[in-house]
Amino acid sequence: MAAVKKTIEEKSIWDDARQMLRKAERDGVETAWDRLEQQTPHCTFCESGLSCRNCTMGPCRISKKAPLGVCGADGDVIVARNFGRFVAGGSAGHSDHGRDCIEALHDVAHGLTRDYTIKDEAKLLRIAGELGIATEGRPLLEVAKDLSAEFYTNYSSLRKELSFSCRVPEKRKQIWRDLGITPRGVDREIAEMMHRTHMGCDNDAANTMLHSARTCLADGWAGSMIATEISDILFGTPSPRKSKVNLGVIKEDQVNILVHGHNPIVSEKIVEAVSDPELIALARSKGAAGINLAGLCCTGNELMMRRGIPMAGNHLMTELAIVTGAVELIVVDYQCIMPSLVTVGNCYHTKMVTTADKAKFTGAEHVKFETHNGAAQARKVVRMAIERFPLRNKARVEIPQGTVDLITGFSNESLLAAMGGTLTPLIEAIKGGKVRGAVAIVGCNNPKYRQDHCNVNLARELIKKDILVLVTGCVTSATGKAGLLVPEAIEMAGPGLREICGSLGIPPVLHMGSCVDNARILQLAALLANELGVDISDLPLAGSSPEWYSEKAAAIGTYCVASGIYTHLGHPPNITGSELVTNLALEGLDTLLGACFGIEPDPFKAAELIDKRIRQKRKGLGLGE
Ligand code: XCC
Ligand code: SF4
């Protein structure tokens, strides 16, 4: 995938992206694609995982000529250590987001904030009950206190297993026990990974890889799962609703605010502030017709799932959204926010506002959000956006026209409701072969690919094969723009899937949320396995991240595999320098965990690869084609 100079058509499959890439060229704005060109060719040592900077006897680079680092570490050890730290970074990202959610729940429970409340009381009680917290006759906030305390212990060293291990099928837990990878506490596994990869600790590549699995399991079954469940409790459990996607959601005559990042704790308050009549009046007094809010990346997913707020686009659309020249302000929390957004914003009148002390950007204005001041800070940010409106240079505004409709909001709760409260219709459809299996397509954009080519084509190919597709993260915008997230998309599906989705009135590609919401998919897989009395690895399921880029995506892939779900990636992580580690990822883990990774950049071939796996799994369950 060495990047040579690409044409605009080769950079993205989308008209809105291409139009803005042309405008960026005219406006002299540099984008990720330009910087990729400058960075290419990449360092082959780093690309294959064979460089180590873990101490100052080095840095060391492993080659035929110099096969050992100064300390004596070989290529296998170095690759495994680098991968371990890579996924520890991703797990830390999701899990620290989860921790911020616990803090919000804790503050609500203890009366420390009036800006946040419990929106889904039934879910609070249900989750508390699931975790063995007494609910009968107790005040709601007392239950919330206990639940937040319980969740906090998942980050500590006090536990032998995580709270939500109660959801994991017994067979899976036994596999974890046998391998010694039962996840304990989020912080513990991440810290232990940092410890193990210090010079002179874990010098057995396979052993380090197993701890990578354990670390990521703590992310999936605690950090991410806690983030999702608390977000539902505080902001409501998503249910199906309509929304729209692409840059056409930005409105020429309004104050445009974009929210970007991951945690709904900031963006939910912005949603409230933009409908404040006083602020709308202020916007009108500045000559705007109103205040328009649109989402980017995962915070966009969170708002779309719960409020139907339109989505401007995914990862590679974030710079291009600003290139419209019509964005007054972009407010961010953390993760996946390109630092270049400040620079792009400076080419127009776009102000960037940061909200988290752990994610400041030089050149952006910092408005610190805390649970006790979220509402006031949100109003402040919206007011700042309104003040920018008169500064907009109308001559430089160009917004790609047209939006695409989609349906969002498929939480497990709403999916179950659509099936009349039980999984039976789905299980029967799987048994009968009308739905041959399900695949979660998740993750990112990466400028090394033609944007969304793989994301979209893989989804298209799978539904043709009667495989239900679940999407989260940045694949949402991709499949949404391709018209796959509406019930009418069943026309593109195979006959079985068309029949089942048609009768349920759901699209063949279901939007299940943000990246932490992959925990919903884990839970669904566990529910199916428990219902059938099998392990997750026995099910005709797969995961895929065709255009992934981030440490978080690698962590997701790893916890999927460690949970028993075969996972396709468009390109490998930086592990190819070690045959041992690569073989483990592509084959060895299959023996150990009942699942492994598959690598295939071509979406059509990837669909075949996944299809083959699903066929095997169906056969294993004694199901016909
Ligand atoms: Fe980030 Fe979550 Fe990837 Fe999108 S999909 S680029 S990680 S925003 Ni998670
Ligand atoms: Fe080199 Fe070993 Fe130090 Fe890594 S830990 S930089 S391989 S001496």
Q: How far is the CA of 58 from the centre of ligand 2 (A)?
A: 5
Residue 2: pLDDT above 90? no
Going from the Cα of 200 to the center of ligand 2, the distance in angstroms, rounded, reads 9
- Is 333 a residue whose pLDDT tops 60? yes
* The pLDDT value given to residue 624: 85
Ligand located closest to 72 CA: 2
**DSSP notation for 151-167:** HHHTTSSS-SS-GGGGG
Write down the mean pLDDT value for the chain. 97
**Main-chain phi, psi angles of 250, to 5 degrees:** -75, 135
> pTM for the complete prediction?
0.98
Helices (H) and strands (E) in the chain, counts: 27, 16
Mean pLDDT for 426-439 is 97
Contacts of 159 by beta carbon, 8 Å cutoff, 6+ apart: 153, 184, 185
Which residue CA neighbors atom 3 of ligand 1 most closely? 444
pLDDT tens column, 374-424: 999 999 999 999 999 999 999 999 999 999 999 999 999 999 999 999 999
* Main-chain phi, psi angles of 426, to 5 degrees: -70, -45
Q: Is 136 exposed, middle or buried (0-12, 13-18, 19+ CB in 10 A)?
A: exposed
* Residue 396 Cα to ligand 1 middle (Å): 29
- Residue 75: nearest ligand to its CA? 2
* pLDDT confidence bin for 625, thresholds 50/70/90: confident
Mean pLDDT of 88-107: 98
* % of the chain exceeding 70 in pLDDT: 99
Where b means 16+ CB within 10 Å and e means fewer, 519-544 reads bbbbbbbbbbbbebebbbbbbbbbbb
What is the mean pLDDT of the segment spanning 469-498? 98
Identity of residue 47: E
What is the H or E stretch that residue 116 is in? Answer: none
- Cβ(54) – ligand 2 distance below 6 Å: yes
Q: Confidence class of residue 90 from pLDDT cuts 50, 70 and 90?
A: very high
Residue written as token pair 């992206």 = 17
Q: Is the CB of 553 under 6 A from ligand 1?
A: yes
Residue 52, SS3 per DSSP: strand
Identify the bridge partners of residue 259 per DSSP, sorted by sequence position: 295, 331
In the block, residue with structure tokens 């240079």? 393
Cβ atoms < 10 Å from Cβ of 177: 11
- Distance from the CA of 94 to the center of ligand 1, in angstroms? 11
50 lines ligand 2 (CB under 6 A): no
Model pLDDT for residues 246-289, shown as the tens digit of each residue: 999 999 999 999 999 999 999 999 999 999 999 999 999 999 99
Of the candidates 240, 243, 230, 273, the one whose C-alpha atom is nearest the C-alpha of residue 404 is 243
DSSP 367-402: ----TTTHHHHHHHHHHHHHHHGGG--GGG------
Instruction: Give all domains of the chain, ordered by start, each with its CATH number.
Output: 75-235 (1.20.1270.30), 247-396 (3.40.50.2030), 409-620 (3.40.50.2030)
Pairing of strands 404-408, 241-245: antiparallel
Q: From CA 222, how far away is CA 154, in angstroms rounded?
A: 7
